[in-house]
């Protein structure tokens, strides 16, 4: 049984897997990590292996705690991967993108796959039908776009995304909602269209915190999977256990 831990700037995502099957997922604030780790450890005493991925500095005590109880793997660019990494600067490739591409290789082997992760940033990652990873793109996410309009202007308010959005805004608020939400939607649709023109039989995966909000706005055939990154971390762990 495996434990995977994804540490972000403010949230920590943890998941327990029995081989490829997700048994439990928990999302918590950083300050609650050790308490939640203890709860999962008691509920699933069969856990033997752990994978740690972090986009921010991880307290040494957390690492020691994981090492003490489990055989721990820490994700970095040197850890053996499931794909052929053709990124021009592989040492700068983020752990989140490594995990997403790994999940694409495991779940959609032999297919052209575009993974769209809609979080703080929107990342696009492409791997081809020969399991070669080329890269993709990074652009501002929903919240970043709202904050940018507020931060870099004197009079525009800070807003949150709303489900009901007018294409033609009739107030400052509705104009911002239209610009941000329809703008990002058009960007994503445009990127998908360009990939589909280049690669036939393209599989599109949508994940990340804003995936559910955004994916219902698309006509394309898209697979939405909120646990895709965690699944990728588990696949990397399984792969390295056998090395």
Catalytic residue, chosen from 32, 76, 96, 210, is 96
- Strands 2-7, 11-18: pairing is antiparallel
16/175 Cα distance (integer angstroms)? 43
Burial grade of 74 (CB within 10 A; 0-12, 13-18, 19 or more): middle
Note if 96 is an active site residue.
yes
96/236 Cα distance (integer angstroms)? 12
**Torsion angles phi and psi, residue 103, rounded to 5:** -65, -40
Alpha-carbon distances, residue 122 vs 68, 137, 208 (angstroms): 36, 8, 9
In which residue are the tokens 């895709």 written?
228
- The residues that are catalytic are 96
């Amino acid at each position: 049984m495996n434990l995977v831990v994804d540490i972000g700037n403010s949230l920590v995502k943890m998941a327990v897997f029995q081989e490829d099957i997700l048994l439990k997922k928990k999302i918590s604030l950083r300050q609650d990590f050790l308490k939640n780790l203890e709860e999962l450890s008691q509920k699933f005493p069969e856990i033997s292996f752990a994978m740690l991925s972090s986009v921010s500095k991880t307290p040494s005590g957390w690492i020691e705690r994981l090492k003490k109880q489990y055989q721990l793997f820490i994700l970095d660019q040197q850890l053996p991967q499931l794909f052929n990494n053709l990124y021009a600067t592989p040492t700068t490739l983020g752990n989140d993108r490594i995990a997403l591409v790994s999940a694409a290789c495991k779940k959609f082997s032999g297919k052209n796959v575009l993974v769209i992760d809609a979080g703080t940033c929107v990342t696009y990652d492409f791997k081809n039908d020969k399991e070669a990873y080329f890269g993709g793109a990074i652009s501002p996410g929903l919240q970043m776009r709202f904050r940018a309009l507020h931060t870099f202007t004197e009079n525009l308010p800070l807003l949150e995304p709303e489900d009901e959005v007018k294409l033609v805004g009739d107030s400052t608020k509705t104009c911002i909602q239209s610009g941000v939400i329809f703008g990002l939607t058009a960007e994503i649709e445009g990127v998908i269209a360009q990939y589909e023109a280049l690669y036939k039989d393209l599989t599109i995966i949508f994940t990340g915190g804003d995936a559910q909000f955004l994916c219902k706005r698309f006509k394309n055939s898209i697979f939405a999977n909120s646990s895709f990154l965690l699944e990728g971390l588990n696949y990397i762990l399984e792969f390295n256990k056998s090395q």
